[in-house]
Amino acid sequence: MSGGDGETSYAKNSAIQSGVQSRLKPLVEGAISDLCGGTAVPRCLRVADLGCSSGPNALALVSAAVDAVRRQPSVVAERRCREVCVYLNDLPGNDFNTVVKDVPSFLREHENVESGGGGGDGGPLVMVFGAPGSFYGRLFPAETLHLVCSSFSLHWLSQVPQELVDGVLVNKGSVSAGRTSAPAVAPAVQPTPSALRDTL
């Protein structure tokens, strides 16, 4: 993706993706309700975005997650989830500098005390970490994350699926999977649960 915030940057040319992210927010909120609504509320909730890119979309889904945590009755009344760790993943060539510049306003929005002294308004302390690397490999220690978000990334392949290069080229002449693709294409580009388990 094109970094920075100039006219041709991803930051300035990702409005359609932003619209789709808005439609995903209820799913994120539902997942947070499931995580924080039961008896075993994590004291430190760990949330990741895989393929965050840069610009406003990089923090949009994790922001929805943090907002949802802060609205949970178990968090507001019982102060059970005290920390939220946000992990932003993308390939090492991503413009993480631009992402990091947006972190202070993200933390302010979530009422954090930037000195790290705790959630400024009594809410959980929010911390943001970069996690550069490919989601085709291992990015996090096993069983670390509670919620993983990803938008417009899992299909944005940084390598051709093995199934499409072994033997016959089933998607020859095309760089995408669509209605007119050969039947073998869609399963090859969709991550299987076991592939995701290997990453997470």
Residues at the site binding ligand SAM, with contacts judged by CB under 6 A = 1, 14, 17, 21, 51-53, 57, 89-91, 94, 134-136, 151-153, 156, 158
CB of 116 to ligand SAM, least distance (A): 27
Residue nearest ligand SAM, Cβ-based: 51
The per-residue b/e assignment along 99-124, b for 16 or more CB within 10 angstroms, e otherwise, is: beebbeebbeebebeeeeeebeeebb
CB of 155 to ligand SAM, least distance (A): 9
Helix, strand or coil, per DSSP, at residue 18 = helix
Please identify, using beta-carbon distances, which residue of 41 and 100 lies nearer to ligand SAM. Answer: 100
Please identify, using beta-carbon distances, which residue of 17 and 63 lies nearer to ligand SAM. Answer: 17
CB of 17 to ligand SAM, least distance (A): 4
CB of 94 to ligand SAM, least distance (A): 5
Please identify, using beta-carbon distances, which residue of 39 and 192 lies nearer to ligand SAM. Answer: 192
Helix, strand or coil, per DSSP, at residue 87 = strand
Residue 71's H or E segment, with its range, is helix 57-71
DSSP per position, 20-62: HHHHHHHHHHHHHHHHHHSS---SEEEEEEES--SSTHHHHHH
Task: Count CB-CB contacts under 10 A for residue 2.
Answer: 15
Please identify, using beta-carbon distances, which residue of 47 and 52 lies nearer to ligand SAM. Answer: 52
Please identify, using beta-carbon distances, which residue of 129 and 156 lies nearer to ligand SAM. Answer: 156
**Alpha carbons 42 and 85: distance in angstroms, whole number:** 11
CB of 159 to ligand SAM, least distance (A): 7
